[in-house]
Amino acid sequence: HWNILPSVSYLTVSKYVGSNFSFGVTGSVNKITKYVLPRVGDADYTVVNPGDLSYYAVDGVINYSMMNLIKSKKLDPSVHIGGGYTWLGDLSSAGTVNAGLGLTYWFTETVGLSYRATYKHSFEDVREDMPSHMQHFAGLTFKFGAKDTDGDGIYDKDDACPTEAGLVEFQGCPDSDKDGIQDSKDSCPDVP
């Protein structure tokens, strides 16, 4: 059953740490109007209205972007793992282990539309009244910080070749034949 709060209901702040990884913290709120009670034996699931039950969650997220793997400038698929803590009003609270997938479409280098789906597995042996569940996020994403014109993961201010994708070991300059010699210093840049 879907429970949606039609307003700003989550905020994620993250930092790129290198090699397509970023680490962040997400805070989210929601109102639960449909709640599935735990199943007993082979009985059917029972759906109840708990009366605008407040949902709060704080999660740490490690995200891996696959944008460079698929060599895209616009589509940014990702996978993430993490953990956090979730509260369902005064009824229950529990720690969760999380994993999921995401997709961001970048309109510009710094503004995108993102969607993220996360499975949150609660520690039911600790709190039987906190169900494992899926959480979905959709919203705008903003990048702050330096510019990376060639998309090689090295900011232009630190990139010796800011308009050509290159390698970290050559300060962002390319090695086309992958022989370990930077193209600008290689007498045969296309032949190893």
pLDDT tens-digit profile, the chain (192 residues): 677 877 788 999 999 888 899 999 999 999 888 877 767 788 888 888 877 788 999 999 999 999 989 989 899 999 999 999 999 887 788 899 999 999 999 999 889 999 999 999 987 654 456 778 899 999 999 988 777 788 787 888 788 888 888 888 888 898 888 888 888 888 888 888
The gap between the terminal CA atoms of the chain, to the nearest Å, is: 58
Angstrom distances, CA of residue 152 to CA of 35, 43, 89: 46, 55, 45
Using left for φ > 0, alpha for ψ between -120 and 50, and beta otherwise, residue 45 falls in beta
Q: What is the pLDDT of residues 61-80, one digit of tens each?
A: 999 999 989 989 899 999 99
pTM: 0.72
Of all residues in the chain, the percent with pLDDT exceeding 90 is 39
Q: What is the pLDDT of residues 26-43, one digit of tens each?
A: 999 998 888 777 677 888
